[in-house]
Amino acid sequence: MSAVGKSGACGAMLEEDPDQTYENVLAEIQSFELPIEATLRSVYDDQPNAHKKFMEKLDACIRNHDKEIEKMCNFHHQGFVDAITELLKVRTDAEKLKVQVTDTNRKFQDAGKEVIVQTEDIIRCRIQQRNITTVVEKLQLCLPVLEMYSKLKEQMSAKRYYSALKTMEQLENVYFPRVSQYRFCQLMIENLPKLREDIKEISMSDLKDFLESIRKHSDKIGETAMKQAQQQKTFSVALQKQNRVQFGKNIHFNDRIPEERNEVELKRAFEEEDENEEEVLTVQDLVDFSPVYRCLHIYSVLGDEETFENYYRKQRKKQARLVLQPQSNMHETVDGYRRYFTQIVGFFVVEDHILHVTQGLVTRAYTDELWNMALSKIIAVLRAHSSYCTDPDLVLELKNLIVLFADTLQGYGFPVNRLFDLLFEIRDQYNETLLKKWTGVFRDIFEEDNYSPIPIVNEEEYKVVISKFPFQDPDLEKQSFPKKFPMSQSVPHIYIQVKEFIYASLKFSESLHRSSTEIDDMLRKSTNLLLTRTLSSCLLNLIRKPHIGLTELVQIIINTTHLEQACRYLEDFITNITNISQETVHTTRLYGLSTFKDARHAAEGEIYTKLNQKIDEFVQLADYDWTMSEPDGRASGYLMDLINFLRSIFQVFTHLPGKVAQTACMSACQHLSTSLMQMLLDSELKQISMGAVQQFNLDVIQCELFASSEPVPGFQGDTLQLAFIDLRQLLDLFMVWDWSTYLADYGQPASKYLRVNPNTALTLLEKMKDTSKKNNIFAQFRKNDRDKQKLIETVVKQLRSLVNGMSQHT
């Protein structure tokens, strides 16, 4: 109870009963409850004279206690006296006992000296034993640390760095805390960071060596991967070859089929040989990836994995740029392309392996980004270098390498659609190189051709030609040997070469993962280019060559006719290869019809041109005496030679289509008529005598006789003779001297001299007038000559008036 509480309680009690209160206060004091200040204060403070009263009570209480003590002492006094008496009795015995104890102690001390010595020895041994035990315990505590550290050194020496790092972790986490108070432990702890740095440097050095190694072995890795991809598709390629043989059974020419069958058999033989060979090495067999694993694990343990990943990716990107850089002469040989592809394949095969066997070193996003960058560079390089390739065989080998390259990387999960898009660009280039190559082939065929029908002397020769070219003519089959094919040797050769071109074009279309319809379309389009551009150009160049004569041109027209008819067999040939029906809606047709028609038209035009040139050559041999007084009585020699030449030429034209021969004959007659007319009207010819006109008339009569002899069948009536009608009417006018009729009937539809132009008649008449003046200078005194001269002058004036009127009207 607190002092305040007690004071309050005592105050209350004093007010009720002072005597009882003092009793209570004394009881509290006797209870030794401290503090008592509040209790005493309440006694003195509450009532006056309280001190005196309290002291009285206190004295009474003391006296009571004294009485009680006295009573208690009186009660125990006899016992105390008895105890003292007994002690006095025992005193003598105690002294004796003390003497005995002292003596015994002395004896014990004397006897225990040796024991003490032995005991001290034992204590010393015990201490040594305890120390030894302590040392053993400490050594047992330190030995595992030393053993682990020794193990760490052995692991470092054995280059087992990942295990060494794990040992370091055990030392730091388990062993070092047990012996951290020892100095050697502190030295070990201080040495561990240096060991870790050494491990990082050594593992990074191993990684650099690994990167250098795979850079050198990338081509071997790529070659192995591409070989594996090639072996995987060998069976499907063999099936394709077999299908092609089956398609070829329906082709008209079967000389190619044994070659393909041989290819299939060779392929099967290679497959059997490959089955007996050892397994191809994998990338793990060619490259030791342990440096990468160790370095990755080491950096992971060291908590520096990000640094390792960044370094690895940076270095591999640098290597990728080096791998993607082509050699300047790569386009010259297929080996250059092969090395380029194998290095790239090797690079990405390694990255794919790293992707799948490590976690986080490279990611799919990283490899995709690297592949997209590489793919853009590869396409740019191939597009640039392939443009320099002029050999179709090299382009074809490049295509096969690109397909194998794409199939290999596609097997590792890389998208290669852009490579196949590039192949379509290269396909166009391949077709261009094929077209250039076949331009030379066609040129050589045309150079070696004799442009004469193929002679056949027996059945074997006939079958040989038929096996090369699809020719069908029942009339020729019925003829007996010897006989001739209408075409020349170039026709079957060209047909065979067109098929060879189709085969060559088909080779590029293989393995492009395209449907038969697309392949069919590609073959037909490339064949159309061959026909419409290459063959057509070669034919046109051949036709325009100066040394190609009329006979050769006639044979060329015949050849193009048969080649045109053979186009449908080429379409069947393509259909048998691709197994796509020609009735398909989107099937492209061959344009051979228009190609050979254009060539024929060009040859026909060249025939007309060369025939006219030949006529001009004969006309240039004409040597008229324009001042002769009398004709020779026979036609000129040059004209007779020209007519004989035309007869022989038109006999050759019998093999041409009727309209071509008729057109050539009509063109020749018209050109001859025009040339003769120009000869009369030549501005350099100043004078013409009547005898020369009569001689010229004899030559025109021979031309008319030639026209009427029907040198080319098929003309109706005197159609061919009309080519000389202008000359005939002009010469008749001068021979008959019927100027009055001409002038009177001029302009009338029924005029006898309707085709005689006044200007032409005036030109010729002026030449005759000048001749008449010169030859009859002394005969002008004769009356007939004077009348004739006046008549000529009169006619000349009338003709001039007529010509002037015509010019004014015009």
The verdict on residue 790 lying in a domain is: yes
Q: How many angstroms separate the CA atoms of 312 and 301, rounded?
A: 17
Q: Report how far apart, in Å, the C-alpha atoms of 450 and of each of 446, 487, 544, 555, 777 are.
A: 8, 11, 17, 10, 63
380, 414, 448 - which closes a domain: 414
Q: Are residues 463 and 350 in the same domain?
A: no
Count Cβ atoms within 10 A of the Cβ of residue 194 and give its class: 0-12 exposed, 13-18 middle, 19 or more buried. Answer: exposed
Residue 483: strand, helix, or coil:
strand
Between 265-269, 647-651, 751-755, the lowest mean confidence (pLDDT) is in 265-269
Does residue 599 form part of some domain? yes
Q: How far is residue 538's CA from residue 599's CA, in Å, rounded to a whole number?
A: 10
Residues 747 and 704 reside in one and the same domain: yes
d(CA 682, CA 418): 72
Among 40-49, 419-428, 584-593, 639-648, the range with the most confident prediction by mean pLDDT is: 639-648
Q: Which residues partner with 485 through β-bridges? A: 454
Do 593 and 704 lie in a common domain? no
Measured between alpha carbons, how far is 42 from 7 in angstroms, rounded to an integer?
A: 5
Q: Are residues 323 and 443 in the same domain?
A: no
pLDDT at 714: 80
Residue 26, Cβ neighbours under 10 Å: how many? 18
Averaged pLDDT for residues 703-714: 88
Q: Does residue 66 belong to any structural domain of this protein? A: yes
DSSP 532: I
Instruction: Give the whole-angstrom CA distance, residue 668 versus residue 612.
Output: 6
Q: At 602, is the pLDDT very low, low, confident or very high (cuts 50, 70, 90)?
A: confident
Q: Is residue 187 part of a domain?
A: no
pLDDT of residue 778: 40
Residue 2 pLDDT > 70, yes or no? no
Residues 656-670 as b or e (16 or more Cβ within 10 Å = b): beeebbbbbbbbbbb
Please give the backbone phi and psi of residue 31, each rounded to the nearest 5 degrees, phi first: -75, 0
Q: Whole-prediction pTM value? A: 0.66
**Inter-axis angle of helices 183-248 and 290-301, nearest 10:** 140
- 445 and 410 part of one domain: no
* pLDDT score of 241: 59
User: Which domain range does residue 660 map to?
Assistant: 625-630+650-807
pLDDT band at 90 (very low <50, low <70, confident <90, very high): confident
pLDDT tens per residue across span 726-751: 999 989 888 888 888 888 888 888 88
Work out the average pLDDT over 171-193: 88
Query: What does the mean pLDDT of the chain come to?
Result: 81
Single-letter amino acid, residue 722: L
Looking at residue 242, what is its pLDDT? 61
In a domain, 610, yes or no: no
pLDDT of amino acid 620: 92
Q: Which of 4-18, 21-35, 233-247, 746-760 has the lowest mean pLDDT?
A: 4-18
Is residue 570 domain-shared with residue 663, that is, in the same domain? Answer: no
Cα–Cα distances (Å) from 292 to 157, 158, 317, 359, 649, in that order, read 19, 17, 16, 12, 88
With cut-offs at 50, 70 and 90, classify the pLDDT of residue 246.
Answer: low
Has residue 706 got a pLDDT over 80?
yes
CATH number of the domain within which 768 lies:
1.20.58
Please compute the mean of the pLDDT values over residues 624-652 and round it to a whole number.
Answer: 89
Coil vs helix vs strand at 269 = helix
User: How many CB atoms sit inside 10 A of residue 283's CB?
Assistant: 20
Contact 669, 733 (CB under 8 A): no
Residue 13 has what pLDDT?
A: 43
Q: What confidence category does residue 781 fall into, taking pLDDT thresholds of 50, 70 and 90?
A: very low
Q: Could you tell me the two tokens for 534?
A: 């290459």
Is residue 661 domain-shared with residue 697, that is, in the same domain? yes
Which among 420, 430, 421 has a CA at the least distance from the CA of 508?
A: 430
Mean pLDDT computed over 111-137? 89
214 has pLDDT over 90: no
Q: pLDDT higher for 242 or 346? A: 346
Nearest-Å Rg of the Cα atoms of the chain is 67
Residue type, 666: M
Structure tokens at 628: 């002769």
In this structure, are 87 and 129 located in the same domain? yes
**Is residue 343's pLDDT more than 80?**
yes
- DSSP 8-state secondary structure symbol assigned to residue 511: T
The pLDDT of residue 108 is above 80: yes
DSSP H stretches of helix in 249-333: 257-276, 283-286, 290-301, 305-324
pLDDT of 799 above 90: no
Q: Is the Cβ–Cβ distance between 680 and 630 less than 8 Å?
A: no
CB 292 within 8 A of CB 358: yes
Residue 587 belongs to a domain with what CATH number? 1.10.357.30
pLDDT higher than 60, residue 273: no
CATH code for the domain of 324: 1.20.1310
Q: How far apart are CA 772 and CA 769, in angstroms?
A: 5
Domain stops at, among 162, 191, 206: 162
Question: Do residues 594 and 741 share a domain?
Answer: no
Task: Write down which residue in 162, 184, 214 finishes a domain.
Answer: 162
pLDDT > 90: percent of the chain? 11
The whole-number average pLDDT for the span 716-730 is 88
Gap between the Cα atoms of 351 and 287, Å rounded: 12
CA atoms within 13 A on the CB side of 326: 23
- Give which of 502, 655, 641, 625 is closest to 575, Cα–Cα: 502
Report if residue 230 sits inside a domain.
no
Give the C-alpha separation, 318 to 196, whole Å: 28
What residue has token string 């505590």?
A: 141
Alpha helices by DSSP H, listed for 412-510, are 417-448, 459-468, 474-478, 490-509
Please check whether residues 669 and 756 belong to one and the same domain. Answer: yes
Residue 3 in any domain: the answer is no
Instruction: Point out the least confidently predicted range of 118-132, 222-236, 278-292, 331-345.
Output: 278-292
Compute the average pLDDT of residues 603-622: 89
Instruction: Name, in order, each residue with C-beta under 8 angstroms of 423's C-beta and a sequence gap of 6 or more.
Output: 399, 402, 403, 512
What is the per-residue pLDDT for 240?
Answer: 58
Q: What does the alpha-carbon distance between residue 504 and residue 514 come to, in Å, rounded to a whole number? A: 17
Would you give the end-to-end CA distance of the chain in angstroms?
162
3-state secondary structure of 450: coil
SS3 string, 348-371, reads: HHHHHHHHHHCCCCCCHHHHHHHH
Q: Tell whether the model's pLDDT for residue 33 goes beyond 90.
A: no
pLDDT value, residue 643:
92
Query: 783 and 776 in contact (C-beta within 8 Å)?
Result: no
- The answer on 796 and 669 residing in a single domain is yes
The total domain count for the chain is: 4
Amino acid at 633: G
Same domain, 765 and 720: yes
In a domain, 9, yes or no: no
